[in-house]
Amino acid sequence: MNARQPAKTGKPAKPEPTKAPAEQTGAAQSSPVQTLPVSEDEDGMRLDRWFRRRFPLMGLSHLNKICRKGEVRVDGKRVEGSDRLKAGALVRVPPMKLEVEAPAVKRAPEASPQDVKLIRQITLFEDRKLMVLNKPYGLAVQGGSGTTRHIDGILQGMAEEMGERPVLVHRLDRDTSGVLLIAKTRKMAADLGEIFRSRQARKIYWAVVQGVLRPPQGRISLFLAKGAAMGDDRAAGRKPVGERASGQRIDPEKMRIAKHGEVDAQHSITYYATVDKLAPRLTWLSMKPVTGRTHQLRAHAEAIGHPIIGDPKYRGDMAENDPRRTDPLRNIPSEIEHKLHLLARRLMIPNPSGGMLDVTAPLPPHMKNTFDLLGFDEKQYDPILDAPEE
């Protein structure tokens, strides 16, 4: 397989929370008939989720029952719990049983003042419906095994009561720094998600990689598949293969190079361009992913023999007789911090509210130190801007 081919402020209006009766005695209470409008933030929301949001004490079985009986209407028409709502629609809410004994809705703990300050400090852009953060190195985007502090959790803790919870539009690895897009409303999250799926978003990453690439610009086209301990494979309990035929160990938590037609294989494409280099040791590489596979840029860099500096997982497997092991000219300077040198540098995307959103993140401290050490000028022209879009 040929891997390479040359080549501010303000907040959206919040729907008024629906109040239960002031006093609740007995097993259930009834509410009066109401007609409630669907807010802009609720556009596209399922009816059952709308009810759950507005009436957290109401049981799902009761909702299904009153829908079947036609007591719930949207703009005068019968509906089901799975139907999607449109902004401005009027929902007829009949007298309902509010299950007083139902457990309280679990809410995220309030964000600490330090975390709120952090979010404000790393905000690159913000308007009524979205915000762009400069994600720091080492801070996870989402929770996971052993991860208790993460951006998603902080944002949940900042959401106002009964208000919209900010939604992650895309992801970055924990050790990747840079531009991270957040939607403030469900409608904006849906619109931005569709823009990403249709590949209208243009993303540029900067990396410092081992060696010097030849050709200096090109296209990486490979099939990738998740390792045996990642995602659905982990949930299914599949076992890692263990070793390749060459006797080389396989990391079950790495994306692996797959063949076309192989189960779980997904096509991945990345354009790359050399911006500057310190031959023969290191290259400042600009990368533009066309697809968005897990660990795509890290796996691609390793696959072409130029792993990203500081990557503990996709670091390349040098043979015992590889000249880089003994050649002092190829050794990485000891002054460079052993941290992942990968930055989500720039995001250009149509703003559903109008116009184009174009946001650039600064170099994280460890990459700034490396650039200064190697004499790289971040103001230098980035040739990846001339790369094709597909």
Residues found in the chain: 390
Nearest alpha-carbon partner for 93 in 120, 73, 123, 69? 73
- Residues contacting 253, CB < 8 A, separation 6+: 227, 229, 230, 313
The answer to whether residues 345 and 205 touch, using CB atoms and an 8 Å cutoff, is yes
Residue 292 CA to its chain's centroid (Å): 10
Angle of helix 113-121 relative to helix 151-158, nearest 10 degrees, comes to: 110
Partnered with residue 168 across adjacent β-strands are 182
Query: Which one of the listed residues 43, 152, 173, 175 is annotated catalytic?
Result: 173
**Vertex 368 angle, CA 363 and 374, to 5°:** 130
C-alpha 350/C-alpha 357 separation (Å) is 6
Instruction: Encode 134-166: b = buried (16+ Cβ within 10 Å), e = exposed.
Output: bbebebbbeeeeeeeebbbbbbbbbbeeebbbb
Is 75 assigned a catalytic role? no
Distance of alpha carbon 236 from alpha carbon 231, whole angstroms: 9
Q: Cα separation of 49 and 60, whole Å?
A: 10
CA 264, CA 247: separation in Å to the nearest integer? 23
| CA–CA gap between residue 197 and residue 134 (Å, rounded) | 22
Phi and psi for 358 in degrees, rounded to 5?
A: -130, 105
Could you list the active site residues? Answer: 173
